[in-house]
């Protein structure tokens, strides 16, 4: 297990440092590569590498005994190395693809052991802990993109990438205060453990992958300077934080998961379906603000459902990452196809339908899962 004195506190320190590094370093990274001459289609292709990487890691570690802390350190090291490389090398398409692959490996290397340690003891407060989990980035997004833009405007991207690498180094040090626990996974057994949830998680992946790719690229159409993009990222997170904390607190007390998933999923889906009608920076501000608001409300409940059903946490998190990234790949492919043959906005609208379908699939799966 993690540090026995206060495992949750130790995990949250590592998580806060990791999230700070991720927000600081990633907030302007696609602007950096676009300004270096990388095309929009190449930016979208990089997300396919990102979401393929964890599948390769999961498959490669199948049947091997590994330690949680060791995996987290490897994941942090992959991110640290990627930002050091970007600080030293020019922003080419090949460097973007290498960064995306290294970042993608952390979906398993860092997040799976972290998720197991974080959610395993969380019965009865899963949505509240999920809110802390999913809101951390929002809190940091209020400030760090503006700091990133200031660094870039005054010194350059090189210092931004070096600062991010330093934060990842601090994250690596923080993991030394975690305990160690070894495990091995059999992918087939892990997938069986997730019976009843696989379709739901796949839909979540389709939505998340398509949205991540689409929003990252479309934002560069409206905001071409570091300061403008940093301000956009900060402002669009403001209204989600307080609401998500309140609703998740209510959910843990009332246990009405399905009701809140239906409300927030519908709101999230409607926001996406309206995307093709956007034609201005102001409209993009409104959409992304609404999307951030509803998604921050939505995501804690999806994880809380797995915890509520008291599945084996280690097996569930491994299989969750496998299915989630399969869905993410499909989501990116939808956005990429729309960008080539129709327009990229249509890809985000299609992603909205996947999240609207989520409550309907819950009803179809009630034989296998318990959702109150």
Q: Which residue has the higher pLDDT, 175 or 296?
A: 175
What confidence score (pLDDT) does residue 285 get? 94
Q: Residue 167 in contact with residue 24, Cβ under 8 Å?
A: yes
Q: Residue 168 in contact with residue 106, Cβ under 8 Å?
A: no
Q: Which CATH class is domain 7-364?
A: mainly alpha
The three-state secondary structure class of 14 is helix
Q: Is the pLDDT of residue 171 over 60?
A: yes
Q: Report the C-alpha dihedral over residues 239, 241, 242, 243, rounded to 10 degrees.
A: 70
What confidence score (pLDDT) does residue 115 get? 82
Ranking 30-44, 126-140, 232-246 by mean pLDDT, the lowest is 126-140
Whole-model pTM above 0.85? Answer: yes
pLDDT in tens, 270-321: 888 889 899 899 999 999 998 888 887 777 666 667 666 666 778 888 999 9
Distance, in Å, from the CA atom of 325 to the CA atom of 55, rounded to the nearest integer, reads 7
Quickly state the pLDDT bin for 205 (edges 50, 70, 90): very high
Residues sharing a CB contact under 8 Å with residue 247, sequence separation 6 or more, in sequence order: 260, 264, 297
What confidence score (pLDDT) does residue 3 get? 40
Q: Is the pLDDT of residue 46 over 80?
A: yes
2: which 2 tokens? 């993690």
Quickly state the pLDDT bin for 2 (edges 50, 70, 90): very low
pLDDT in tens, 25-35: 999 999 999 99
Distance, in Å, from the CA atom of 149 to the CA atom of 147, rounded to the nearest integer, reads 5
What confidence score (pLDDT) does residue 303 get? 67
What confidence score (pLDDT) does residue 119 get? 73
pLDDT in tens, 95-118: 999 999 999 999 999 998 888 887
Strand partners, 290: none
Distance, in Å, from the CA atom of 202 to the CA atom of 200, rounded to the nearest integer, reads 5
Q: Residue 179 in contact with residue 4, Cβ under 8 Å?
A: yes
Distance, in Å, from the CA atom of 190 to the CA atom of 317, rounded to the nearest integer, reads 8
User: DSSP assignment, residue 253?
Assistant: H
pLDDT in tens, 234-263: 998 887 776 666 665 665 555 566 677 777
What confidence score (pLDDT) does residue 331 get? 96
- Residue 231 vs residues 149, 221, 223: alpha-carbon distances, Å: 9, 15, 10
């Amino acid at each position: 297990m993690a540090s026995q004195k206060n495992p949750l506190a130790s995990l949250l320190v590592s998580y806060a440092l990791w999230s700070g590094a991720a927000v600081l370093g990633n907030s302007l990274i696609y602007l950096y590569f676009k300004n270096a001459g990388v095309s929009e289609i190449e930016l979208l292709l990089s997300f396919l590498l990102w979401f393929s990487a964890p599948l390769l890691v999961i498959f490669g570690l199948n049947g091997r005994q590994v330690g949680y802390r060791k995996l987290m350190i490897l994941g942090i090291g992959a991110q640290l190395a990627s930002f050091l490389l970007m600080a030293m090398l020019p922003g080419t398409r090949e460097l973007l693809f290498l960064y995306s692959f290294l970042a993608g490996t952390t979906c398993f290397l860092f997040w799976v052991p972290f998720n197991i340690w974080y959610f395993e003891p969380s019965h009865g407060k899963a949505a509240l802990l999920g809110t802390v989990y999913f809101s951390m980035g929002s809190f940091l997004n209020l400030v760090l993109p503006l700091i990133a833009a200031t660094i870039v405007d005054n010194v350059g991207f090189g210092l931004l990438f070096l600062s991010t690498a330093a934060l990842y180094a601090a994250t690596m040090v923080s993991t030394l205060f975690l305990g160690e626990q070894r495990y091995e996974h059999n992918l087939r057994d892990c997938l069986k453990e997730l019976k009843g949830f696989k379709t739901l998680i796949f839909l979540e992946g389709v939505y998340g992958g398509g949205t991540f790719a689409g929003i990252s690229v479309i934002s560069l159409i409206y905001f071409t300077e570091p300061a403008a993009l940093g301000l956009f990222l900060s402002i669009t997170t403001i209204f989600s934080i307080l609401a998500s904390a309140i609703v998740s607190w209510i959910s843990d007390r009332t246990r009405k998961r399905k009701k809140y998933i239906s409300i927030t999923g519908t709101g999230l889906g409607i926001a996406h379906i309206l995307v093709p009608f956007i034609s201005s920076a102001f409209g993009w501000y409104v959409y992304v603000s609404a999307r951030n608001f509803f998604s921050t409300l939505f995501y804690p409940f999806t994880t809380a459902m797995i915890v509520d059903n008291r599945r084996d946490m280690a097996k569930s998190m491994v299989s969750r990452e496998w299915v989630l990234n399969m869905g993410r790949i499909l989501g990116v492919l939808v956005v990429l196809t729309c960008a080539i043959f129709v327009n990229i906005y249509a890809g985000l609208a299609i992603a909205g339908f996947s999240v609207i379908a989520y409550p309907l699939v819950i009803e179809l799966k009630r034989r296998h899962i318990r959702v109150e």
